[in-house]
Amino acid sequence: MRMFERPRMAELLKEQFADMEQQRETSSIGMWIFLATEVMFFGGMFTAFACYHHLYPEAFKSASRHTDFWMGSINTAVLLISSLFMALAVQASKTGDRRALVRFLVTTIGLGLVFLGLKGAEYAHHIHDHLLPGPSFRYENGSEAGAAQLFFFLYFAMTGLHAIHMIGGIVLLVVLTVMARRGKFSPYYHTPVELGGLYWHFVDVIWIFLFPMFYLIGGR
Amino acid sequence: MAGNHDKATALGGNPVLMEPSATLRVLYRVAAGLLALLALTVGLAFIDMGPFNLLMALLIAAAKAALVVLFFMEVRYSSRLTWIMAGAGLLWLLLLIGGTLADYMTRVTLVLPSPLPQTWTATTEEKADPRDPRNSGNLGPAGGWSPADIAPSGPSGTPGEPVPSSDQ
């Protein structure tokens, strides 16, 4: 364990809390409540997908064969590994290992950027293939075109919303990295790193469900 | 965790030991498990198992999500209050999806009694209906009603024709 300066605890502990543990848990619970509202936010779209998949099961299957299977699989792996590094960053913040914390945070940011880059390449590919819903939408099977367009509307809306959350997460991690470099965190106080981790893992969990919905249901 | 609320006690102690959390070994194992599950679900996509493809993909996704939530998000090591918060999000999500699907999956043909002479369909059962979005390529609510449903349509839709099986 690296040496760290023992901070003046009275400055870290806000007066409305009895002790550091209560202060930490209050922040954590607040983050969980926020994540529960995020579940509801995404939940409406998951419900829409479930309903339309129920109404047009065959069209959704064939439409899902138009998404980039291997790109999606690689992106899932990238995101899962980024979550490992985020968890390692939280551990490093608990033991006060500042150098490891910065290294893990930067790795997590890098993997997040790789994910967004691959996703952008996928989007460009789909738009080129006229799969973006709207006037330019083209689909080879005319009788399934309407339902396929619904599928791709949900695809762009849900992965797009997920990507916006990824961008937000990356901004959050950049702020945490700067704070970590300045030595703001120690074994006594590292709640922001933990909360950032909760958010990053949550975004990962959303993708874990988006992946089978858009890439796997049609088989290969 | 902190029974003694004396300020001096609260500020001291070993902060690392105060928070139970996943060890590095657990984190590496969970990550290996997640990647193994990903490989499994990718592999299963190449095998045609009919409706079980979807079921297996969703079950594997749920297992991966559980690993992330329990170990990476450390719910496994958190207080009961955290469990309730995480559980509440899941419960309301299941109510939202379950309740809506319970409606969509149980919709049947709706026959209205007179004075309206036609059969109104509120399902997707008419296969050759040109208004059906599956046949026209247009977006639209599959079970939605439109004024066209009331107007006479097709050879059987003559105005004044009695409704086939009505209680009246």
* 8 Å CB contact of A13 and B22: no
Cα-based distances in Å from B165 to A188, A218, B59, B117, B119: 75, 40, 43, 12, 10
pLDDT, tens digit, 9 for 90 and up, residues B108-121: 766 666 555 555 55
CA distance B66 to chain A (A): 9
Six-digit token pair at A105? 């945070």
Six-digit token pair at B89? 């999000």
d(CA A75, CA A118): 7
Six-digit token pair at A136? 């330019």
**Which residues are CB-contacts of B45 (< 8 A; sequence separation ≥ 6)?**
A69, A215, A216, A219, A220, B53, B57
Cis ω on the peptide bond leading into residue A133 (within 30° of 0)?
no
B 72-91 residues with CB < 8 A to A: 72-74, 78-79, 81-82, 85-86, 88-90
CB pairs under 8 A between A and B: 187
| Burial of A16 (C-beta count, 10 Å sphere; 0-12/13-18/19+) | exposed
For A42, the closest chain B residue by CA position comes to B93
pLDDT, tens digit, 9 for 90 and up, residues B75-132: 999 999 999 999 999 999 999 999 999 999 998 766 666 555 555 555 545 455 555 5
Of B21, B97, B133, the CB nearest to A94: B21
d(CA A28, CA B80): 12
Six-digit token pair at B168? 């009246």
User: What's the mean pLDDT when you consider all of chain B?
Assistant: 73
For B130, the closest chain A residue by CA position comes to A143
| pTM reported for the whole predicted model | 0.80
* 8 Å CB contact of A46 and B97: yes
CA distance B127 to chain A (A): 12
CB atoms inside a 10 Å sphere around CB A64: 24
Give the torsion through C-alpha atoms of A48, A53, A55, A57, to 10 deg. Answer: 170
**pLDDT value at B2 more than 50:** no
**Chain B residues touching A60 at Cβ < 8 A:** none
Of A22, A76, A201, the CB nearest to B72: A201
**CA–CA–CA angle B38, B39, B45 (5° rounding):** 90
**Which residues are CB-contacts of B6 (< 8 A; sequence separation ≥ 6)?**
none
